[in-house]
Amino acid sequence: MESRVKLFGHAIHPILVVFPLGLFATAVVFDALGWATGNGRWLEMSFRMIAVGILGGLASALFGLLDWQAIPHETRAKEIGLWHALGNVAVILLFAASWFMRWPLPSNPGAIAVMLSLVGAVLMLVTGWLGGELVERLGVGVDNGANLNAPSSMSGRSASESQVRAQRD
Percent pLDDT > 90 in the chain is 73
pLDDT band with cut points at 50, 70 and 90 for residue 32: very high
Query: Rounded to an integer, what distance in angstroms lies between the CA atom of residue 115 and that of residue 111?
Result: 6
Three-state secondary structure call for residue 61: helix
Query: Rounded to an integer, what distance in angstroms lies between the CA atom of residue 122 and that of residue 58?
Result: 19
Say if pTM beats, i.e. exceeds, 0.75: yes
What is the pLDDT averaged over residues 67-74?
A: 93
Query: Rounded to an integer, what distance in angstroms lies between the CA atom of residue 71 and that of residue 79?
Result: 10
Three-state secondary structure call for residue 10: strand
Mean pLDDT in the chain? 91
Tell me: pLDDT of 140 over 90.
Answer: no
Neighbours of 78 (CB within 10 A): 19
Q: Where are the domains of the chain?
A: 6-168
